[in-house]
Every structure is written in C-alpha cells, then in structure tokens.
Amino acid sequence: MPKTYEPIATTTLGSSATEINFTSISGSFTDLILVGRFSSTTLIFGGMNLRFNSDSGSNYSYTLLEGTGSAASSARASNTTAMEMGYNGTNDAGQNIIIQIQNYSNTTTNKTAISRYNSPAGQVMSYVGLWRNTAAITSIRFAVNNQALATGSTFTLYGIKAE
C-alpha cells in the first residue's frame, strides 16, 4: 500500500503579514489539508478567508456552525468573494484551523472545503464552503479580514494521495 500524507509546504511568519499564499500546488495528490496555528495583530473581528487560483469573483459560499460556550448558532453567506473558514472573535493567541479540500485537482466538479476552527478563549466553529469553479486548484490564499497575521503564525499544507 502506498504511504501518503505528505507536507507540501510550510510558512512561518518572521514578521506580520496580511495573507499567506501557497502557489504552484502540484496536482499529484488527491486531497489537500491546510493546518494553521496563528494569532492576529489587532482586536478587530474578522473572518478567515480562502481564495483559490486568485479568483476574487463572487463565486464562493459557506455555511457555518459555532459554539461559544453559552450558545450554538449557524449562519451562511452566498455569492461571496472569498470562502470563510473561521472567524476571529477574540484575538486569541491560540487560534488553530484545519481545512480539508477533497479532489482539488479534478476538473469536473466544483470544489468543496470543510474546516474546523478553534479559538480556545472564544469559540469552536466548523465551516463547509463551496467554490463554484471546476478548475484544478493550483494556489491558495489565506487571509484574515481587517487584520494581519502575527509573527510566528505558522501554516502547513499537506497532500494526501489515494491509491
């Protein structure tokens, strides 16, 4: 059986940055997993957004589930210009996110991603998002609205290859 689950690239910020980019993603895997451990530089609330292949059109949507410790809620947005996969409500230094993107390189289906986002001081969240495009994903941009990612934030992109 082939062994799989390989790190493709890791970025650890030496200084604050407004976004993280993974480019020239190989099509040789079946699924992608983006793992982030990060904090932001301000207290402004903001969504954590993905864009694929530099597409800034209104081609994204998402549905979310959130638990704050006292209440659970759900929301959605359609025809957005990025795919929200988490939401920073506390500027927690321990934020982490795992985003799963299946069948990212096929050219016949729209792309769906599903995430788990944790802010230990604030909330737990999960998202499912849609990118209405059948193109193979070759680049991923991760950014937090209205904020910069703080020094030391680290992101790794993994690939899983099915037999």
Partner 1 sequence: MIGNIVAAITDGGEAATDFESIATVTVGAGGSANIEFTSIPSTFQHLQIRYLGRGTFNGGDVEVHMQINSDTGSNYTRHFIYGDGSTAGAGSATSQTKIVLNDVPAATSTSGIFGTTVMDILDYTNTNKNKTVRALIGRDKNGSGVLLLSSFLWSSTSAITSIKIFPSANNFAQYSHFALYGIKG
Task: Please report how many Cα atoms fall inside a 13 Å half-sphere around the Cα of residue 109, on the Cβ side.
Answer: 10
What is the Cα 42 distance to its own chain's centre? 20
How many other CB atoms are found less than 10 A from the CB of residue 69? 9
Plot region of 152 (φ>0 → left; ψ -120 to 50 → alpha; else → beta):
left
Is there binding between residue 152 and partner 1 (CB under 8 A)?
no
- Identify which of residues 114 and 148 has a Cβ nearer to partner 1 in the complex: 114
The smaller minimum CB distance to partner 1, of residues 39 and 115, is found at 115
Positions in 35-54 near partner 1 (CB under 8 A): 35
CB atoms within 10 A of CB 148: 17
Residue of 12, 121, 132, 146 that binds partner 1 (CB under 8 A): 132
Residues of this chain that interact with partner 1 (CB under 8 A) are 1-7, 30-31, 33, 35, 61-67, 72-76, 78-79, 98, 100, 102-103, 106, 108-110, 112-114, 116, 126-130, 132, 134, 156, 158, 160-163
